[in-house]
């Protein structure tokens, strides 16, 4: 039996390229594609800054590039993505403070790298 996303997850919202899945109990995942704009890409310092911000939140944070998913709270994992300037990464945040976390981390990826 195949179910639609709405049947399984409740409501699915698409705004500004960000998917926000909501269930009857509330939201449980926010996902968005982000282009890395910084001159050095997501290198050591920007990755460390990203992880410091991610660790402030209780939500689970994951990043993906080219289909490879890594823990967004691990500097070494993020560095394995080799996300250079112009790379497209997927940011996925899930948990009780996901909306605030997504907003801060999205900004960090766009502006601080």
Q: What is the DSSP string of 55-80?
A: TTSSSEEEEEETTEEEETT-HHHHHT
Residue 10 has pLDDT above 70, yes or no: no
What the block records as the tokens of 62 is: 């994951």
Give the confidence band of 28 by pLDDT, cuts at 50, 70, 90.
confident
Give the confidence band of 69 by pLDDT, cuts at 50, 70, 90.
very high
Find the catalytic residue in 30, 43, 89, 93.
Answer: 43
Q: What pLDDT digit, counting tens, does each position of 41-66 carry?
A: 999 999 999 999 999 999 999 999 99
Known catalytic residue at 15: no
Which domains are seen in the chain, by residue range?
Answer: 34-111 (3.30.1340.10)
What the block records as the tokens of 23 is: 């269930």
Mean pLDDT of the chain: 83
**Strand 18-23 to strand 26-35: parallel, antiparallel, or no bridges (unpaired)?**
antiparallel
Q: What pLDDT digit, counting tens, does each position of 75-97 carry?
A: 999 999 999 999 999 999 999 99
């Amino acid at each position: 039996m195949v179910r639609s996303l709405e049947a399984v997850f409740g409501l699915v919202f698409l705004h500004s390229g960000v998917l926000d899945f909501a269930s009857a109990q509330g939201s449980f995942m926010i996902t968005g594609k982000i282009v890395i704009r910084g001159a050095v890409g997501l290198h050591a310092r920007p990755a460390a800054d990203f992880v410091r911000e991610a660790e402030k939140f209780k939500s689970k944070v994951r990043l993906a590039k080219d289909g490879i998913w890594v823990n967004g709270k691990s500097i070494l994992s993020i560095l394995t993505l080799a996300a250079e300037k112009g790379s497209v990464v997927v940011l996925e945040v899930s948990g009780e403070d996901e909306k605030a976390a997504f907003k801060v981390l999205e900004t960090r990826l766009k502006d601080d790298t």
